[in-house]
């Protein structure tokens, strides 16, 4: 029995390290096309809008929510709705397995770079490790729009600390698969990792659910 437990622990560690090592690259290979809803009309972005229109629309959506807390939700590319609040994955803290969980974030200082086809922002994220709330630094991030079907949201690596002084370095990226301007939702494939006092990483499909959506009667991508 002790032998089996050791091997289970060994494979648990290997699985965490493998996911952690893959967490730095956005999962664009999972995106077959970006699905966009605006003014109660939905279609694949390539059939309806240009990169410039999406850039302008996303800038307005984020600026509408500048300084306003949003939440992360577990979801799927079939429903694109909030299934469970928060996204989590396995971590190893010392010799003990546990879980990291991120729930909320806040965009501030949202600005568009029209020459580079990207949006810059500051981000304030909320993270828990094994039910311990971490204090995380405000950090920069960027939404890149290479084409209507290649949109990524990438935060710069940032630091989080526990009350006792334990520290973690954190990475997060998001390959956008859907944008619902009417409901203030950005869906896609997320990857999140931590290292330092503990190590872990995870990925999946989730929703960034903003509090403020595009007002009725307007169309930010028209």
Q: Which residues pair with 196 in a beta bridge?
A: 168
Question: Bigger pLDDT: 26 or 123?
Answer: 123
Domain assignments of the chain as residue spans, ordered by start = 2-209
pLDDT surpasses 50 at 3: no
49-86 pLDDT tens trace = 999 999 999 999 999 999 999 999 999 999 999 999 99
The H or E element that residue 139 is part of is: strand 139-147
99 contact partners, CB below 8 Å, separation of at least 6: 88, 89, 90, 91, 129, 130
174-196 pLDDT tens trace = 999 999 999 999 999 999 999 99
Mean pLDDT along residues 143-171: 94
Give the confidence band of 161 by pLDDT, cuts at 50, 70, 90.
Answer: very high
Residue 19 CB neighbours (<10 A): 18
Q: Which pLDDT belongs to residue 165?
A: 84
């Amino acid at each position: 029995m002790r032998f089996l437990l050791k091997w289970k622990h060994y494979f648990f560690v290997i699985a965490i390290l493998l996911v952690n090592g893959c967490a730095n690259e956005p999962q664009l290979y999972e995106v077959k096309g970006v699905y966009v809803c605006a003014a109660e009309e939905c279609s694949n972005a390539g059939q309806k809008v240009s990169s410039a229109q999406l850039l302008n629309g996303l800038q307005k959506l984020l600026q509408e929510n500048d300084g306003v807390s949003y939440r992360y939700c577990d979801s799927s590319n079939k429903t694109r709705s909030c299934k469970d609040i928060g996204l989590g994955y396995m971590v190893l803290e010392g010799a003990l397995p546990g879980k990291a969980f991120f729930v909320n974030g806040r965009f501030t200082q949202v600005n568009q770079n029209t020459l580079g086809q990207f949006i810059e922002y500051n981000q304030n994220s909320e993270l828990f490790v094994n039910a311990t709330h971490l204090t995380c630094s405000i950090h920069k991030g960027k939404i890149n729009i290479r084409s209507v079907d290649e949109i990524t949201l990438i935060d710069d690596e940032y630091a989080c600390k526990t009350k006792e002084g334990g520290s973690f370095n954190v990475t997060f990226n998001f390959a956008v698969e859907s944008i619902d301007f009417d409901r203030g939702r950005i869906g896609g494939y997320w990857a999140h990792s931590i290292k330092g006092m503990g190590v872990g990483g995870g990925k999946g499909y989730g929703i960034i659910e903003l509090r403020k959506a595009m007002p009725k009667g307007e169309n930010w991508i028209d």
